[in-house]
Amino acid sequence: MTEHRLQPLLAPRSLALVGASPKVGTFGNGMIRACVNAGFGGDLYLVNPRYDAVEDRPCHGSLIDLPGPIDHAVLNVANARLEGLFDEAIAAGVKAVTIFASGYLEGDSDPPLLARLKTKAKAAGLQVCGGNGSGFYNRVDKVHCTLGEGDRGGAEVGPVALISQSGSVYMGLLQTDGRLAFNFSVSSGQEIATTAADYLDFALELEPTRVVGLFLETIRNPAGFIAAAQKAAERDIAVVVVKAARTPESAAMAVSHSGALAGNDDAHDAVFERYGVIRCEDMAEFVATMQVMSAPHRPVAGGLAAIADSGGEREHLTDLASNTGLPFAEIAPATTEQLSDRLEYGLDPVNPLDAWGTGHDYPGIFHDCMTALLADPATGYGLWVADIRDGERFRAVFTDNAPSIIETTGKPLAFASCIPNGIVHETARRLRLAGMPLIDGLGPAVSAIAHGFAWRDRRERRFLPPPDGPGADVIATWRRRLTSGQPLDEADGLDLLSAFAVPVIDHRIVETDDAAVAAAASFGYPVVLKTAMPGIAHKSDVGGVALDLNDETAVRAAWCDLAERLGPRCLIAPMAPGGIEIVFGLIRDPQFGALVMIGTGGIFVEVLRDRLVAVPPFGVDVAGGLIDRLQARPLLDGLRGRPAADIDGLANALARFSVLAASLGDLITEADVNPILAGPDGVIAVDALVIADLPPDHQDKEEAP
């Protein structure tokens, strides 16, 4: 039995099946057969007050009547009986339960049933699989607690663990035609007490696990998920995720651009990126990626080498690889010569390779050419494109000697069909056992291999540390300011940035026209004058900005206009030098805490939606990578003779901003630095909006009429 804190739930030594039934074809009978067929070696008890015996086993009237302590009870009952049996399990000292029922009652009281079960489970320390789930399979410990009689994979213990918050997705993935072999799988459902993060931690402890696939609708335990993702990275286990419900809408209205632009899904992207979790767009890509990452040989250094029996399929592969940024290996002259010696006349010895000629000795030609391609020092992964079907020998013959290619080269090789949805149950299983995935569809194959390359590169990368922040006394001062209950104005925001060594424009607060003129004289013309009246977050929207003020008369006139319309308090600063407008943002995600955003700034921030989100703090290398991924990145290199921007300075400023976010983000609801100008002579922030948390008593005062 596996030793883990979830042992009572997922590797129990004693198991009670409540709702056991002698009627074949029912869930109550199926769960008995699943346990027996799995070879469960612990104490198995059946519970149903209507029967004295089921399946030639004694049947007990209740959990209280059982002769010994019970690790786990499967409560296969309807919603109306669920709470009573839940209470009975707790009273009987049961440590864990599995629930299939939805937990919804018509005409329920307040709090509803699910909330009551959560409260009771927490108080009793009860582990719960479900509700509204389909149970789990633990092939390592031979425990199957499920609605059915077992899955097609039988007792085979594979390298893949599966965690799904959808029961239908869970059941569907267990029927993947031999493409995947599981060691553990669970339908976590509503996660009354035990979350996907808990199951992930358990899966990482199973010796056969090489990859864990998760289908998630939400992450209910963010800290636990992050800890498990870090643990997976330490153990060289790939975590692959499909995250559903990714509509880019924020959970609440945001005051700053940053908060409005970065929805909850951006936060998930940032967390997955930070902790090396592979995110897939759809189920085909999900399955293919688990195939690639669970194979005995994963991508090694180098590019992709591919062979096909069609020029059109080769062209399609090339297009798909270009779309995903998947590089082809630049094969050596010696490899080119090997290909030339083996190919029929008229075929180009290139990568990717179309090796089909007249059909003469085609199995031998393809085998030898694929061997040469894979053996090339520049190759990190091999792909053989062939529409293989069970019972069809024309292309299936390619697979006969393919295992020898892996043995010869020691490198990974996968087959992929160009036309998906082929019947390949037996072929897929046979190739998997030989160490080669058979991937259904060329698009999923290319995406999966690209994920494998990115995962490989991340494993080899050594990240730079974040920049040093200010001293503890400076941070303590700003923590007091942020918790004072007084809103921060633009000058405060710029001063906060400056404290963390983010370059900011020189600025001054003025409340008279004479003070504005004096400040302008000290800066030198031209200057900008902006309202600094409390409560105005976006100054341009109310006509609160006067630009290019070139003399004393213009400054006085601008101040008088702003004072009359909006109030006397203004901020004055020199006109900033030209540059590309970028926005930095700090967002407080309700699940994952402070996050950093970078995007195209200025008035286009909401239109272009060119932004990325990352988990702080990070070094200049990560900052540079974020900048490189912006759609606006070519603008920073300079176009049509314009000088390039100081990209190193921009990366340094973003890294320092990330330190600010990590140091004070727990006290800041949102922050918006828009724009920060990146020009050839440096980087400078010219506007800053910082929204601090307000104490409850201050919020009440603000909301009072």
Percent of the chain with pLDDT over 90: 80
Q: How many residues does the chain have?
A: 705
Q: Is residue 278 situated within a structural domain?
A: no
Report strand pairing: 43-47 vs 14-18: parallel
CATH of the domain at 539: 3.30.1490.20
If pLDDT is split at 50, 70 and 90, which confidence band does 578 have? Answer: confident
The CA distance from 42 to 35, in Å, is 10
Q: If DSSP codes are grouped into helix, strand and coil, which group holds residue 689? A: strand
Q: Per the structure block, which two tokens stand in for 87?
A: 């209470």
Q: Hey, how many other C-beta atoms are within 10 angstroms of the C-beta on 455?
A: 21
The CA distance from 257 to 687, in Å, is 13
At residue 639, the pLDDT reads 78
What are 98-136's pLDDT values in tens digits? 999 999 999 999 999 999 999 999 999 999 999 999 999
At residue 154, the pLDDT reads 53
Q: Which of 344, 345, 352 is nearest to 327 (CA)?
A: 352
Q: Is residue 27 situated within a structural domain?
A: yes
- Asked if residue 454 has pLDDT above 80, the reply is yes
What are 457-513's pLDDT values in tens digits? 999 999 999 999 999 999 999 999 999 988 899 999 999 999 999 999 999 999 999
Identify the domain containing residue 37 by its residue range: 7-245
Q: Which of 523, 641, 643 is nearest to 580 (CA)?
A: 643
If pLDDT is split at 50, 70 and 90, which confidence band does 259 have? Answer: very low
- Asked if residue 405 has pLDDT above 80, the reply is yes
The CA distance from 62 to 691, in Å, is 57
At residue 609, the pLDDT reads 77
Measured over the CA atoms of residue 343, residue 346, residue 348 and residue 354, the dihedral's sign is negative
Instruction: Give, in order, the Cα–Cα distances in Å from 541 to each of 536, 552, 583, 691.
Output: 9, 26, 18, 18
Query: Are 656 and 540 part of one and the same domain?
Result: no
Q: Residues 504, 668, 663, 652: what is their CA dihedral angle, to the nearest 10 degrees?
A: -30
At residue 150, the pLDDT reads 60
CATH of the domain at 620: 3.30.470.20
Which residue, 245, 278, 313, sits at the end of a domain?
245
Q: Is residue 101 situated within a structural domain?
A: yes
Which residue, 186, 214, 245, sits at the end of a domain?
245
The CA distance from 413 to 579, in Å, is 48
Query: Are 526 and 611 part of one and the same domain?
Result: no
Q: If DSSP codes are grouped into helix, strand and coil, which group holds residue 633? A: helix
The CA distance from 217 to 189, in Å, is 10
Query: Are 542 and 582 part of one and the same domain?
Result: no
Instruction: Read off the pLDDT of each residue in 587-612 and give the average, rounded to a whole number.
Output: 84
Query: Are 37 and 157 part of one and the same domain?
Result: yes
If one compares 6 and 152, the residue with the highest pLDDT of the two is 6
Query: Are 530 and 442 part of one and the same domain?
Result: no
Which helix (H) or strand (E) is 598 found in, with range?
strand 593-600
Query: Are 516 and 545 part of one and the same domain?
Result: yes
Query: Are 214 and 359 part of one and the same domain?
Result: no
Report strand pairing: 570-574 vs 545-549: unpaired
The CA distance from 117 to 90, in Å, is 11
The CA distance from 483 to 696, in Å, is 11
Domain tally, the chain: 4
Query: Are 93 and 104 part of one and the same domain?
Result: yes
The CA distance from 17 to 76, in Å, is 7
At residue 252, the pLDDT reads 42
- Asked if residue 229 has pLDDT above 60, the reply is yes
If pLDDT is split at 50, 70 and 90, which confidence band does 178 have? Answer: confident
Which helix (H) or strand (E) is 213 found in, with range?
strand 211-216
The predicted model scores a pTM of 0.91
- Asked if residue 408 has pLDDT above 90, the reply is yes
Q: Partners of 59 in the beta sheet? A: 46
What mean pLDDT, rounded, does the chain reach?
92
Instruction: Give, in order, the Cα–Cα distances in Å from 90 to each of 6, 94, 97, 220.
Output: 17, 6, 10, 24
Peptide bond into 208 cis (omega under 30): no
Q: Which of 149, 136, 124 is nearest to 74 (CA)?
A: 136
- Asked if residue 177 has pLDDT above 80, the reply is no
Q: Is residue 277 situated within a structural domain?
A: no
Instruction: Read off the pLDDT of each residue in 626-649 and give the average, rounded to a whole number.
Output: 91
Q: Partners of 614 in the beta sheet? A: 596
- Asked if residue 610 has pLDDT above 80, the reply is yes
Query: Are 208 and 331 part of one and the same domain?
Result: no
Q: If DSSP codes are grouped into helix, strand and coil, which group holds residue 127? A: strand
Query: Are 494 and 527 part of one and the same domain?
Result: no
DSSP result, 531-563: E--TT-S-GGGGT-EEEEE-SHHHHHHHHHHHH
Q: Per the structure block, which two tokens stand in for 584?
A: 């930095």
CATH of the domain at 74: 3.40.50.720
The CA distance from 593 to 617, in Å, is 12
At residue 258, the pLDDT reads 37
- The maximal CA–CA distance of the chain, rounded, in angstroms, is 101
Query: Are 316 and 408 part of one and the same domain?
Result: yes
Comparing 144-153, 205-214, 234-243, 537-546, the range with the smallest average pLDDT is 144-153
Q: Is residue 286 situated within a structural domain?
A: no
At residue 625, the pLDDT reads 97
Which residue, 552, 575, 598, sits at the end of a domain?
575
Q: Which of 686, 699, 259 is nearest to 493 (CA)?
A: 686
- Asked if residue 702 has pLDDT above 50, the reply is no
DSSP assigned state of 263: -
Question: Letter for the amino acid at 603?
Answer: I
Q: Measured in whole angstroms, how far is the alpha carbon of residue 651 from the centre of its chain? A: 24
Instruction: Read off the pLDDT of each residue in 315-340 and give the average, rounded to a whole number.
Output: 97
Q: Is residue 289 situated within a structural domain?
A: no
If one compares 75 and 577, the residue with the highest pLDDT of the two is 75
Q: If DSSP codes are grouped into helix, strand and coil, which group holds residue 560? A: helix
- Asked if residue 539 has pLDDT above 60, the reply is yes
Instruction: Give, in order, the Cα–Cα distances in Å from 623 to each of 466, 538, 615.
Output: 10, 27, 11
Q: Is residue 280 situated within a structural domain?
A: no
Query: Are 501 and 514 part of one and the same domain?
Result: no
DSSP assigned state of 295: S
At residue 693, the pLDDT reads 83
- Asked if residue 249 has pLDDT above 70, the reply is no
Q: Is residue 287 situated within a structural domain?
A: no
At residue 262, the pLDDT reads 41
CATH of the domain at 381: 3.40.50.261
Using the CB atoms, write b or e for 489-510: b if 16+ within 10 Å.
bbbbbbbbbbbbbbbbbebbeb
